[in-house]
Amino acid sequence: MTTPQTTATDVNQPTLQPAAPTGRRLSLPVLLLVIAGALALTSLVRLITGADGITNVSQMSTALQLAVPIGLAGLGGLWAERAGVVNIGLEGMMILGTWFGAWAGFQWGPWTGVLVGIIGGALGGLLHAIVTVTFNVNHIVSGVAINILALGATRYLAPLAFEGEPGGSAKQSPAVDSLGHFTVPGLSDVLSDLNGQGWFLVSDIAGLLGGLVTNVSWLTLIAVALVPATWWILWRTPFGLRLRSCGENPVAAESLGVNVYKYKYLAVIISGGLAGLGGVFLSLVANPFYLEGQTSGRGYIGLAAMIFGNWMPGGLAIGAGLFGYTDSLNLRGGAANVHALLLLGALLLLAGAIWFAVRKAYVKAAVTVAVGALVFAWYAGTDEVPNQVVSATPYVVTLVVLALSAQRLRMPKADGLPYRKGQGK
């Protein structure tokens, strides 16, 4: 019987396996149980308040449409940061996507606009890669500069391209033809009928599912498919392992023959292309034209969704859906729905306090109960909330969610750190 020989090379040989995340990660059954509990509480709030709009098919359809550009921007941030490059420039890359998508779509058709918009965002990503990877400029500074540059470039180009055209102006492009929508026949009607019954939980689930199969853009279908595609590429292929190793330990990756610069460049260019696709969605689907300022900070919210999702595609999708839903409150009965959600917030805070008490974190439990009592007092003492609160809801939810999820987050170890070829020698 022989024993395995261990050499110095074996001991010192670095590996491409990323370090295990710290802290607990929710298993799929637990996550599904949490989602089911949140739906049950939402249904209870709907029955108590009579705010049927918080889970109807139209609300969910709007929420999906608003979640898609946030999710695409978040996916872009995920690709870049998994390779170790912080991409604050997502907002600017989305702006480039909106302008190039509408410009090309107006001239050569909407699908050409999709392709050109992706290229426009990818060009922003390429610029970010050159500045941060090749010249080692601070990633935050580069991203902010790209946001300013993209805004200035589109403001300069819009009058040249759109003024004098029918329906065009210095701040708006002419209308672009639709990419088309689809509705699943039969199923959409059944779910809409169930949603209209007002039953506990069943009608709310029907409203959620109905929003996914009613009047859905083909670009939405592509965007949803990109979430599992990203997971499979980054976590189930050698290419994805090498790319993630550049964000965890680029020195070890280089010692094993990985071209770190190449993978960082590819990741950031793909990041820009995905953000550009999110911009295309805004200018071809959400609105059939380019409009100055139409990104409205969605690139930053996409970055927040990525962080909320712990740099994972599935968590990112949940975060994008949450932010898209709160954003949709502005468009459909916002004041009444936000007022009803105050009660939901109070109940969720009560559940959180019970959770802290079970874990013997009594100080956190007491603080959570106090905040929940204030929220409930706000709900009980008013009949509606000011419009300013409705408009601020997506951004407030962004801050609250990030604050509550901060303890379980684990970013790639080399994310944002400068790297020079051969620095490990």
What residue segments make up the domains of the chain, in order of their start? 50-328, 333-409
Q: Choose among 30, 39, 107, 43: nearest CA to 290.
A: 107
Q: Could you tell me how far CA 278 lies from the centroid of its own chain? A: 10
Q: Which helix (H) or strand (E) holds 58?
A: helix 57-82
The whole-angstrom separation of Cα 294 and Cα 290 is 8
Q: Quote the pTM value.
A: 0.89
The whole-angstrom separation of Cα 290 and Cα 216 is 20
Q: Kindly state the DSSP code that residue 181 receives in the 8-state scheme.
A: E
What lies within 8 Å, CB to CB, of 344 at 6+ separation is: 41, 42, 45
Which residues in the chain show pLDDT less than 70? 1-28, 332-334, 404-407, 424-425
The whole-angstrom separation of Cα 349 and Cα 343 is 10
Q: Which amino acid is at 407?
A: Q
Beta strands per DSSP E along 168-219: 181-182, 216-217
Q: Which CATH architecture has domain 50-328?
A: Orthogonal Bundle (1.10)
Specify the pLDDT at position 79.
97
The whole-angstrom separation of Cα 193 and Cα 186 is 11
Length of the chain: 425
Specify the pLDDT at position 396.
78
Question: Rounded to the nearest 5°, which phi and psi values hold at 255?
Answer: -65, -20
Q: Which helix (H) or strand (E) holds 229?
A: helix 218-236
Q: Which helix (H) or strand (E) holds 217?
A: strand 216-217
> What torsion do the CA atoms of 146, 418, 87, 111 make, to the nearest 10 degrees?
80
Question: Rounded to the nearest 5°, which phi and psi values hold at 217?
Answer: -75, 150
